[in-house]
Amino acid sequence: MNKILAFLLPIIFIILTWFGWNWYKQNVACCNETKTEVKKTIAPEVVKYGPLVYNWDSDEAITNDLWPDKKKEIQSADAEGKILQIVGPYFKDEVNSTSYENIGLARADAVRKILSDSIPMERMEIDSKLINPINDMKTKPFGGTVLNWAVRNENIQEVDNKALIYFPYNSTKKLENANINNYLASVAENLKGNEKTVALSGHTDNKGNPAYNKKLALSRTKTIKAILVKLGVAADRISTTSFGEEKPIGTNDTDEGRQRNRRVELEIQ
Tell me, yes or no, whether 147 and 175 share the same domain.
no
* Residue span of the structural domain in which 180 resides: 156-268
Tell me, yes or no, whether 208 and 239 share the same domain.
yes
β-bridge mates for residue 216, sequence order? none
Query: Is 11 inside a domain boundary?
Result: no
Last residue in a domain, options 119, 136, 151: 151
Tell me, yes or no, whether 166 and 75 share the same domain.
no
pLDDT of residue 145: 92
Query: Is 244 inside a domain boundary?
Result: yes
Tell me, yes or no, whether 194 and 167 share the same domain.
yes
User: How far apart are alpha carbons 92 and 130 in whole angstroms?
Assistant: 7
Query: Is 20 inside a domain boundary?
Result: no
Query: Is 194 inside a domain boundary?
Result: yes
User: If you ran DSSP here, which 8-state letter would residue 233 be given?
Assistant: -
pLDDT of residue 193: 83
Domain count, the chain: 2
Tell me, yes or no, whether 190 and 264 share the same domain.
yes
Strands 146-151 and 82-90: antiparallel
Beta strand segments in the chain, E: 52-53, 62-63, 82-90, 124-130, 146-151, 156-159, 162-166, 198-203, 238-244, 263-268
Last residue in a domain, options 86, 119, 151: 151
Query: Is 18 inside a domain boundary?
Result: no
User: If you ran DSSP here, which 8-state letter would residue 264 be given?
Assistant: E
Query: Is 131 inside a domain boundary?
Result: yes
Q: Report the residue count for the chain.
A: 269
Tell me, yes or no, whether 236 and 180 share the same domain.
yes
Nearest to 214 by CA among 241, 244, 240, 239: 244
Quick: pLDDT tens for 63-89.
Answer: 999 999 999 999 988 877 788 989 999
Tell me, yes or no, whether 110 and 141 share the same domain.
yes
Tell me, yes or no, whether 123 and 207 share the same domain.
no
Strands 198-203 and 263-268: antiparallel
Query: Is 40 inside a domain boundary?
Result: no
Last residue in a domain, options 130, 151, 172: 151
Which DSSP helix (H) or strand (E) runs through 179?
helix 178-190
Query: Is 28 inside a domain boundary?
Result: no
232: left (phi over 0), alpha (psi -120 to 50) or beta: left
CATH number of the domain enclosing 124:
3.30.1330.60
pTM of the model: 0.61
* Block mean pLDDT (10 aa), the chain, length 269: 59 65 59 50 61 95 92 87 89 94 95 93 91 89 89 76 79 64 86 90 92 92 90 93 92 88 90
Tell me, yes or no, whether 181 and 142 share the same domain.
no
